[in-house]
A and B are shown apart, each in its own frame.
Chain A
Amino acid sequence: MRSRDLSGRLHPTVVLWMVVGLLGFAVLPWYGVEDGFFGLSWLFEGYPLDSEFAPALVLNLKGEKLWLAPLGLLLAAPLLLWGRKKSDPLFGKLLVAIGAAGFAWLLFQGFAIGLRGWQFGWLQGLFGDLGDRQFGMGYGALLVGLAFLFLFSQGLAARGAVGGDVFVVSTIAFVVAAVGLFIFMPILQMLANALITEDGSYSLTIFLGKLFSARLWSLDCLAGGSRCGVAWNSLFLAVLVGVLTTVLGLVFALMVTRTGFRHGTLLRALTVLPIITPPFVIGLAIILLFGLSGAVTQTFSELFGIQPTRWIYGLPGLLIAQLLAFTPIAFLVLIGVVEGVSPSMEEAAQTLRANRWQTFWTVSLPLMRPGLANAFLLGFIESMADFGNPLVLGGNFDVLSTEIFFAIVGAQNDEAQAAILALVLLAFTLLAFYAQRFWLGKKSYTTMSGKGDAGVHPQLPTALKRAVYGMAGFWVAFTIFVYATIFYGSFVKLWGVDHSLTFAHYVKAFAVGWNDFGIHWKGSAWSSFWTTLQIALISSPLTAAIGLLTAYLLVRQNFAGKNAFEFGTMLSFAIPGTVIGVSYVIAFNVPPIELTGTGIILVLSFIFRNMPVGVRAGVASMSQIDKSLDESSLTLGANSWQTFYRVVLPLLRPAIVAALVYSFVRAMTAISAIIFLVSARYDMSTSYIVGRVENNEYGIAIAYSAVLIGVMLAVVGLMQLVVGRRNIGRRGHELSQSRTNVSQPAFSGGS
């Protein structure tokens, strides 16, 4: 009775978020708990009175950290709405004001007061010495922040934003806040860092001097000098890799779809391999094969008496390694596009007496432009961000990603320099992004309509077909050769010296023993292995969830600023991992958000780095689902959350699988970002493997990689089983299946 009474006077959702805020303000520790919140040891070490673990309310009552008190007052402020209806104009206005003020104050006090008191000079001047300090915010602060955020969106919804739909407004607010906090803020802080000079002041001239230094932009090598600037090196390599992976990807896509090639599954299986291979393993295999003492080099030198050289180190080796690693991505992008080109248009061209060449050049190829552009962009960005291959194969060919790393960790350790290099890298990728959009322009590439298109793709011209077969055959043989080497290398005692077979590397890394307490994970790799698995398994569903939610907003809802919103969520796609890593270290090492050395920072970096793929997958499959389904659900009385959960979500299963698999695999194989973020407690497999490679322990590195590949295959298979397939009633399917399926109407009309 009472609760009904209460909800009559104050909107229940407002009450809910007030309670959440109160919980954060008065119950949970305000600041981060050093030993981990979920260790719960804080409960027994003086909570709630000890200042280290106390909630904000207790701190204020003790007369400490009084700058938190306004938050408490603002949390209580919605009580002013007592008895007012949602339709009352004051209701929305007041909630918007309270939410915005609370959230802004929370951020402001966090940034203004840090470990050494006031963080900004003008505050120091205004108020004098603070004589107090604060650490990073904890779960208490998190709940209060969420409460303000959702009170704010309540208010917006009440004022009629997005049709007054609270769920949609709240989701938008949440995604915007998250993207702002974990993508924009770190990048902006990194930009600020680039301007800092050695003595701690800001200087534009020094910044410009560094930005345009010869080390970055010198064109010496063209004039016969020893080497070119790092920026040119990176750019040149990335363009080369982008173009070549696109060409190769197209070759395979054409071969599978237009030559009557029968072993498509084999090719697909082969293309998956490089995607789930830890990055630098391919580089390693290439050294073992083509290095100065590599197996192939030696064979050639003995057969033909050629003096072995170190030609593989530098551009040639990098190019080969990156082509092997990134061509499959281009293939996966292009195969959909090549299949999608409407056969009727090609048939029309042929009917008009174009020969096969003309048809291919003037009809098929231009229609594939979006795919080509996307494939190029992916190859370009992957190459720019690649860290593992340049590390082992770079030789004297320096590229940005490794330079950034060594600017931070090298003997000179210059964070500002790293930030500047990261800026250049970011500028290149963003440029490529826009160049792609510009090239595609506003032309229409639509070839799939609701009308039946029963045509068959024409075969390729014979000459082209032969070339395609030749290239693909060579590539396949090469890939198999490289992977066989990797596999063999993990069983060899000491590559290049002692080729007797052994299990020693596997035993050293993954030995399991028994002791008094049960299983004892003796091998040296277990700790990083479990951490990696755990982090990957936590981050991939979260990535999929936030990605699909965002996709839902983009496809199904209309709101002001949607374009900016889309740009923001896709931005991290264009940001190389190295840049994310550096900016996270800079942004999250000090309060208010202190995350370095935790597992959370790894999870966050994966979520926000891989989110765009979830968004894209979601957008693609959601646009296929007819909106009338949502509408009928809404007409039948479901709200937008129920509609999303019970109607849209089940139809999105392929997108869910794609997002899950991608983010899982990325979390298992990423290196460029996490090399900056790992810590004693949270070491990841890839950084462990890099350490082994640096130490010449190739056997262990390769054995570990082989195990990782196996695990990824297993988990990916499992995910597909658990999430299941989407059941779409199609003609020819059994009746029972289509009867239980809600989606049938969606596909019977064209979309």
Chain B
Amino acid sequence: MKTALLRSAALAGLMMAGGASAHAESLTLYCSADEAWCQQIKTGFEEKTGITVDMTRKSSGETYAQVRAEASNPKGDVWWGGTGDPHLQAAEENLTEEYMSPMRGELHDWAIKQAEAAGNKTIGVYSGALGFGYNKDLLAKNGLPEPKCWADLAKAEYKGQIQIANPNSSGTAYTTLATMVQLMGEDKGFEYMKALHKNINQYTKSGSAPIKAAGLGETTIGIVFMHDAVAQTAAGFPIVTVAPCEGTGYEIGSMSLIKGARNVEAAKKFYDWALSAEMQGKAKDVKSFQLPSNKAATVSELTPDLSTIKLIDYDFKKYGSSEERKRLLGKWDTEVSSLPQ
């Protein structure tokens, strides 16, 4: 019965032979930004080129895991977005392909620096500074002072008011850990994380969850990337975004070509397009407030202006390497997360 079915299917296929041509060009995109942005990119590229895009939206950690799992038989072509560390890790493990885009001249220096740190196997597409946001209604209700600096968050009055992701599962939280280590030195940085630990009400799994909880009033303060906090404000939640006074770290959202991609040409076409001012200028339409890497791209007035924020000189190469990451996370596990709150 099965064979009969296959046969008739084959026959039907033969009869349609006249109409069928070589299959249309397609592209498999792994997208690690939020759904609306990913959708916009997918349809934007399809409209621009007529290439069908199969898009999967997963966090950068999930995507990295997937790319690694599929290494011997890659299914994806290009990986767009998500914090830079997993992209650097993928480059380190030779999971991604070197590519020199003709668009590089139009980009900010930090985007190129990111590429050079990975032997041109990745490139910056947007960036955003780390910070925190608070729910102003809740803050007022609890009679708390407005936090301005990292140091404020470690004060006893914020006990049980703060949320941050678990650095083991979230790149955002790892960036926070690495930022503290770089800002204060390793010993003081860990002292700070221990003090902060006492005030944390929950370590969430995903990086942007804390500010979403703050938006809903489930926590007062969330430590996240500032553009995520701004997006909550734009969505109508009573969130105020803070750039910490001591200075802060940042992420470079990156893009990589996957090694052994099945649709290399389409992937390169996408890569070049994704670096264009035209494409990057549209991010604000879907309430994504990261800073685009193309200098000419238009920016929303809500986008945190990186030039007015004190940024540390974040060493992506060192703190993006698997070795350092493993060491810091191990230390955090034993010295910080195991402490009573």
Name A residues whose Cβ lies closer than 8 Å to a Cβ of B.
19-20, 23, 28, 34-35, 38-41, 43-45, 114-116, 135, 139, 143, 146, 225-226, 287, 291-293, 310, 313, 391, 395-396, 402, 406, 408-413, 415, 494-498, 524, 585, 589-591, 594, 596-597, 678-681, 683, 691-692, 694-696
Contact = CB atoms under 8 A, between A and B. Distances in A.
Given A116-B72, A226-B339, A411-B86, A680 B168 contact: no
A596 B236 contact: no
A590 B75 contact: no
Contacts of B159: none
A413 B68 contact: yes
Contacts of B170: 410-411
A287 B217 CA distance: 11
A596 B65 CA distance: 14
B50 interface: no
B331 to A, nearest CB: 14
6 contacts: A41-B23, A43-B17, A143-B2, A310-B218, A590-B72, A695-B35
A585 B75 CA distance: 14
Contact of A43 (B10, B34, B340): B10
A2 to B, nearest CB: 20
Given A41-B22, A115-B72, A408 B202 contact: no
B225 to A, nearest CB: 14
Interface string B140-166: 000000000000000000001000001
Given A402-B205, A410-B61, A412-B168, A692 B35 contact: yes
B56 A680 contact: yes
B31 to A, nearest CB: 9
Given A39-B23, A40-B9, A680-B28, 7 more contacts: A287-B218, A292-B218, A310-B218, A409-B58, A590-B73, A596-B70, A683-B56
Interface of A is mostly: loop
Interface in B315-337: 325-326, 329
Nearest to B209: A694
B65 A413 contact: yes
A411 B340 contact: no
B311 to A, nearest CB: 22
B54 interface: yes
A498 B238 CA distance: 11
B340 A226 contact: yes
A738 to B, nearest CB: 35
B308 to A, nearest CB: 27
A494 B236 CA distance: 8
Contacts of B294: none
A115 B73 contact: yes
A411 B171 contact: yes
Contact of B75 (A411, A496, A597, A692): A597
A38 B9 contact: yes
B265 interface: no
B206 interface: yes
The 9 closest A-B pairs by CB, nearest first: A293-B217, A40-B13, A410-B169, A680-B54, A696-B212, A409-B62, A680-B56, A413-B65, A406-B169
A316 to B, nearest CB: 14
B168 A496 contact: no
Most chain B beta-carbon neighbours within 10 Å: one of A402, A594, A694: A694
B132 interface: no
A19 B10 CA distance: 17
B320 to A, nearest CB: 11
B265 to A, nearest CB: 16
Given A34-B262, A411-B86, A680-B28, A497 B168 contact: no
Contacts of B338: 226
Given A292-B219, A597-B75, A691 B10 contact: no
A391 B35 contact: no
Contacts of B134: none
B201 A310 contact: yes
B64 A413 contact: yes
A683 B54 CA distance: 11
Contacts of B339: 226
A421 B55 CA distance: 30
Given A409-B65, A410-B61, A524-B39, A44 B20 contact: yes
A38 B166 CA distance: 44
Interface in B85-142: 85-86, 138
Nearest to B62: A409
B81 interface: no
Contact of B235 (A494, A590, A692): A494
A397 B112 CA distance: 42
Contact of A396 (B30, B203, B206): B203
B3 interface: yes
Interface in B39-73: 39, 54-59, 61-62, 64-65, 68-70, 72-73
A40 B14 CA distance: 9
B13 A691 contact: no
A411 B9 contact: no
A589 B67 CA distance: 12
A415 B70 CA distance: 13
B314 interface: no
Contacts of B65: 408-409, 413
B283 interface: no
Contacts of B85: 411
A688 to B, nearest CB: 9
B168 A406 contact: yes
B3 A20 contact: yes
Nearest to A310: B201
B3 A40 contact: no
A411 B217 contact: no
A701 to B, nearest CB: 11
Contacts of A41: 20, 22-23
A717 B20 CA distance: 40
